[in-house]
């Protein structure tokens, strides 16, 4: 692979600061999620050391950090799968909203249920029947799998199964979609396809996305904002003021990736 040019300092590109994505320019967005002094201990070990974070409605946040820094722990707290040892977590209007959904690295489909039935599992407030079927089929069309509705999960590829998992998550019309390395097991080309699909659906549906990833390029390609976690604390909270759709390889993206890598490796 050709060596990348050294990242230009962001200060040298003031125009970037003007080029906020359309969603960033929306005025007075409400807060989708607010964390205050959030801590999580396991025995003697304090894995999260007091996280303060506000995520506005519709924002795409990427969370990045070295293995074991507490990313998945944070996501589990956000989705209510785990409880904090200390601090507060407020979702939307103050309740642990049912409209938070999570996607994992593995799709976790029901192997004995057909694809369309797997999507129906995610529907809330609609009982089984023709209306549920119609909604699930529309969601499958959204993720490009309209023609696979009657098949079993076992005959789909890994990328297709993740599309089904995405359709199932969307079925709940989530206000917040938490994504725990959902593209981590995919090959490089499928991963880029899925990134584009995820971005398109996020723009269309307007949920706040919280994506845990190990991939700095993916974080900069997708997020409005990248949070670097280091040893249970926020080491960097970096806005990504680049217009969309973003294409890999530009100097601005390289500059932002350089700042994230510097924070990850303590070179700031
Ligand atoms: N239920 C648990 N009991 C005890 N320790 C835990 C538990 N869950 C997580 N931990 C510890 O908390 C730390 C952070 O784990 P976490 O899974 O959040 O890291 P991560 O940043 O997501 O890592 P990775 O990138 O490797 O997935 C690790 O040291 C882990 O062993």
C-alpha 71 – ligand 1 centre gap (Å): 8
Query: Is the predicted ipTM greater than 0.95, yes or no?
Result: yes
**Parallel, antiparallel, or unpaired: how do β-strands 233-239 and 60-65 relate?**
unpaired
Structure tokens at 223: 């997020």
Give the separation between CA 253 and CA 14, rounded to whole angstroms. 14
Give the separation between CA 224 and CA 211, rounded to whole angstroms. 11
C-alpha 48 – ligand 1 centre gap (Å): 10
Q: Is 21 in the pocket of ligand 1 (CB under 6 A)?
A: no
Residue nearest atom 18 of ligand 1, based on CA coordinates? 70
Give the burial class of 128: count Cβ atoms within 10 A of its Cβ; 0-12 exposed, 13-18 middle, 19 or more buried: exposed
The pLDDT tens digits for 16-38 are 434 444 444 445 788 999 999 99
Residue 97 banded pLDDT, cuts 50, 70, 90: low
pLDDT for res 129: 86
Q: Is 27 in the pocket of ligand 1 (CB under 6 A)?
A: no
Answer whether residue 15 shows pLDDT above 50. Answer: no
Q: Is 232 in the pocket of ligand 1 (CB under 6 A)?
A: no
Residue 126 banded pLDDT, cuts 50, 70, 90: confident
C-alpha 84 – ligand 1 centre gap (Å): 14
C-alpha 68 – ligand 1 centre gap (Å): 5
**N-term to C-term CA, the chain:** 26
Residue 268 banded pLDDT, cuts 50, 70, 90: low
Q: Is 70 in the pocket of ligand 1 (CB under 6 A)?
A: yes
Structure tokens at 60: 């795409």
Q: Is 149 in the pocket of ligand 1 (CB under 6 A)?
A: no
Residue nearest atom 8 of ligand 1, based on CA coordinates? 73
Q: Is 68 in the pocket of ligand 1 (CB under 6 A)?
A: yes
Residue nearest atom 5 of ligand 1, based on CA coordinates? 42
The pLDDT tens digits for 206-251 are 999 999 999 999 999 999 999 999 989 999 999 999 999 888 778 8
Give the separation between CA 74 and CA 38, rounded to whole angstroms. 9
Q: What residues are paired with 239 via a beta bridge?
A: 225
Residue nearest atom 16 of ligand 1, based on CA coordinates? 70
Number of other CB atoms surrounding residue 253 within 10 Å: 19
Return the SS3 of 108. coil
Residue nearest atom 24 of ligand 1, based on CA coordinates? 67
Q: Which residue has the higher pLDDT, 127 or 243?
A: 243
CA distances from 37 to 48, 53, 88, 193 (A): 9, 9, 7, 37
Phi, psi of 163, rounded to the nearest 5 degrees: -65, -40
pLDDT for res 47: 96
Q: Is 73 in the pocket of ligand 1 (CB under 6 A)?
A: yes
Number of other CB atoms surrounding residue 76 within 10 Å: 16
pLDDT for res 161: 96
Lowest mean pLDDT segment, chosen from 2-6, 56-60, 190-194: 2-6
The pLDDT tens digits for 155-205 are 999 999 999 999 999 999 999 999 999 998 889 899 999 999 999 999 999
High-pLDDT (> 90) share of the chain, %: 72
């Amino acid at each position: 692979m050709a060596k990348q040019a050294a990242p230009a300092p962001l200060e040298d590109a003031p125009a970037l600061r003007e080029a906020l994505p359309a969603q960033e320019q929306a005025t007075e967005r409400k807060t989708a999620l607010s964390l205050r002094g959030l801590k999580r201990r396991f025995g003697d070990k304090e894995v999260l050391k007091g996280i303060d974070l506000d995520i506005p409605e519709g924002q795409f946040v990427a969370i990045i950090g070295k293995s074991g820094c507490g990313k998945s722990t944070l996501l589990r707290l956000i989705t209510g799968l785990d409880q904090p040892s200390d601090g507060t977590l407020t979702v939307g209007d103050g309740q642990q909203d049912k409209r938070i959904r999570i996607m994992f690295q593995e799709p976790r489909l029901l192997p004995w249920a057909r694809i369309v039935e797997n999507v129906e599992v995610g529907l809330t407030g609609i009982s089984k029947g023709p209306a549920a079927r119609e909604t699930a089929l529309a969601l499958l069309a959204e993720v490009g799998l309209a023609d696979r509705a009657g098949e079993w999960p076992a005959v789909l590829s890994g990328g297709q199964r993740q599309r089904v998992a995405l359709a199932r998550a969307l079925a709940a019309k989530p206000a917040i979609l938490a994504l725990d390395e959902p593209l981590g097991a995919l090959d490089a080309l499928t991963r880029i396809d899925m990134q584009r699909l995820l971005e398109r659906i996020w723009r269309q549906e307007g949920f706040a996305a919280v994506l845990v990833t190990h991939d700095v390029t993916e974080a900069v390609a997708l997020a409005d904002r990248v949070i670097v976690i280091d040893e249970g604390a926020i080491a960097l909270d970096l806005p990504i003021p680049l217009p969309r759709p973003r294409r890999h390889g530009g100097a601005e993206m390289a500059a932002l990736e350089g700042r994230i890598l510097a924070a990850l490796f303590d070179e700031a």
